[in-house]
Structure 1
C-alpha cells in the first residue's frame, strides 16, 4: 500500500491504480510534481482525484465551490473539505459564490465555479475531475448540435490553468476507488434531474447506444475526440499562416469610439484559401477583436461576405459594450469589425 502525506493508506486495487496512473501520467507530462489546486465537489470523481493527487502530484489544496443552489449546500461543502483534509490535502477551503442566470443555470454555475477557482489558484494549476465518460458526453452533445469539428474535439488534458488528468479513467473506476478507500462521496441530486440535457445523455442516450451498438461507445467517442484534436492542431497551424498573410492594417471609418486602427483582413487572400482554413482563420481573428458567443450561423454569414458577396450588409456578432455593438463588415477589399451605436 502507498501511504499519503496525510496518513491515509491507499490500497493497490485496480481502481486506485487506474486513477493514480492517470494523475501520474498527467504530472509527468507537465514536467513533474508541484503544488496544485483541485476543484472538489464532494462527488466520486473529484474525491478520487484528490486522493490520487496527494500521492502523485505533491502539495494539494482542495477548493470546494458552494454554488448555494440547494438547501444545505454549505454543509455538503464543509463535509467535502473535511474529507479532503483527511485525504492529506495541505489545505481545503470552501468558497461561496453567487450564481447568475445568464445562459441558464448550468452555464451560470460553471462561470461562477471557474471564476472562484481562478481566484484561489495563486499561480498553481487547477485539476478538475472530468472522466472519460464526461468526455464522451461532451463529444456527443457537440455532435448533436452540429456546430463544427472544434465542438466535438472534447476537453483537453491541459489548457492552462486547467488540468484534467482523468480523461482516460471511467466514472465507475472513481466510484470504486472511493469504495476501496472507505469514503462516501456526495451524490448531487442535479445529476439525476432529467431537466438537464447532459443528465439525459448520461442516463438514457449513452446507455442505449451502448446496448444497440454492442458496447465501447464511450471509449470510441473519446478516441474520436483525440483524433480530431490531432487533426485540428495541424489545421490550426495552416490557419495561423493564412491569418498572418491576410492581416492588413486599415484606418477605421468614423463609426464610433474604439474603432480607430482596428486590424482588417485582406478579402483577396481569404477568398483564395480553402473554406475550412478561411473559417478557422476568421474565427481566431474575431476572438482577438473581442467577439464573443460566435455561432456557426454567424461564421457562415461572415464567410458569405468573403466568398459570395452580393452587396449584403454587415453581420452583427456578440461582444461590444452597453452603448455599441460589434458588426463584421466588408469594405474596401477588407474584412473589418466595427463598433456601431446600439439603437
Structure 2
C-alpha cells in the first residue's frame, strides 16, 4: 500500500515536538486519531535512535471505566502500541465524578488530565502528545460560538499548553484513518462519539454535516482558519492586558486584596479593560469570570451608581472604593474570607 501523504505530514509535525533529551508520552485511547499519532511517534523514535539522541517515546492509555468493554479496549490499545515499539506503555485509570455540575464530558476531561499528570510523574516524562485533529478544532470553534465565550474560546484548541502538545491539528480524521490503514492498525470506534446526549457528538454527527451540505462544503477548514485568526488576536490582546494590569496595579493590601487605579482603567478600551479585571480576579485564585459577571464588574468602572460589590465565582468580590476611604479612586478585588 502506498503511504498516504498525511503520513509524512504527521511524522514531520510529531518530530518537531518530541522531547529531544527525554521521554515523551503519547496519550492513546485506541481510536484512529491517537493510534495514528502513536505510529508517527514510533517512526520518529526509530529515527532518533538511529541518530543516537536521547529522545524516547512511550504511551499512556487512560481507562475511564465508562464503557463495559473498557478493559478489553485498553488492552488492545496496549498491544498495538507495544507492537509499534513504544516503551513504556501504561494503562492509567481516570476517576470521573458522575455528579459533576459541569457535565459528563467535562468530568471525563478533568479525570484524563489528572491521569496524564500522574503518568508524567510516575514515568519521568516532560511532555504528552494529544491527538486532536482539525475536525476537533472545527467542533471546538462551534462549541465556542454556542457558548458565546469570546475571542479566546473561538481560538479553539491551542497547539500547545504547558506540557501538552497537539501536533496533528493540521490533519483531518480521514487522514488519521488512512495512516492507521497503512500501518495495519485496528482503531476502536467509541460509541460515545455518536451519542446524541453529548453536545460535541451532535456537532460531529449532525450539525457539521448539515452546515457542509447547506452552507459551505469547506466549512471545517473555514472554522479552522477562524481559530487561527482568533488565536493570534487573543494572544495580542492578552499580552496588552497583562502589561496594563501590571501598570495599573497598586500595592496589595495586607488582606491580599488587589487594587487597580480607577481613572486610567476607565480610559482603556473595553476589550482591554475587561481582560485586566479578569486577570485580577484570576490572580486571586478564582476561575475566569463569566462574561456577565465581568460586565457587571466593568460597570463599577464606567459609571454605575452602585459601588458594588459584585460577586465572582471562587468567592472573590469586586467593589469601587468609597469617597473619603483609603480605597477611593481604586477598583478593589477582594479574596474570600474563610468562614469560621
Same fold, TM-score > 0.5, yes or no: yes
Structure 1 residue 65: Cα displacement: 0.8
Contact 2:282 2:288 in 1 (8 A): no
Correspondence 1:329 to 2:319: yes
Contact 1:39 1:126 in 2 (8 A): yes
Structure 1 residue 313: Cα displacement: 2.2
Which residue in the other structure is 2:59 paired with?
A: 62
Q: 2:274 aligns with which of 276, 279, 282?
A: 279
Q: 2:130 aligns with which of 128, 131, 148?
A: 128
Which residue in the other structure is 1:322 paired with?
A: none
Which residue in the other structure is 1:193 paired with?
A: 195
Count of residue pairs brought into register by the alignment: 319
Which residue in the other structure is 2:156 paired with?
A: 154
Question: Matched residues in 2 for 1:230 and 1:208: separation?
Answer: 29
Contact 2:151 2:230 in 1 (8 A): yes
Contact 2:14 2:40 in 1 (8 A): yes
Contact 1:23 1:56 in 2 (8 A): yes
Map of 1:1-343 to 2, 5 A cutoff?
12-27=3-18, 34-56=22-44, 58-100=55-97, 101-102=99-100, 103-121=102-120, 122-251=124-253, 260-319=255-314, 325-331=315-321, 332=327, 333-338=329-334, 339-340=336-337
Structure 1 residue 160: Cα displacement: 1.2
The C-alpha deviation readout for 1:157-195, integer Å capped at 9, x for no partner, is 111111000000001110111112111101111011011
The C-alpha deviation readout for 1:206-235, integer Å capped at 9, x for no partner, is 111111233111111111111111122222
Q: Which moved more, 1:165-174 or 1:264-273?
A: 264-273
Structure 1 residue 25: Cα displacement: 4.4
Question: Matched residues in 2 for 1:141 and 1:342: separation?
Answer: 37
Question: Matched residues in 2 for 1:318 and 1:146: separation?
Answer: 18
- Residues 330 and 340 (structure 1), Cα distance of their counterparts in 2 relative to 1, 3 Å cut: farther
**Which blocks of at least 5 consecutive residues in structure 2 are unaligned?**
46-54, 322-326
Please report the TM-score for the alignment, with normalisation by the length of structure 1. Answer: 0.87
Question: Matched residues in 2 for 1:234 and 1:166: separation?
Answer: 24
> What secondary structure is seen at the aligned counterpart in 2 of 1:71?
coil
> What secondary structure is seen at the aligned counterpart in 2 of 1:124?
strand
Structure 1 residue 56: Cα displacement: 2.1
The C-alpha deviation readout for 1:136-161, integer Å capped at 9, x for no partner, is 10011101211111110111111111
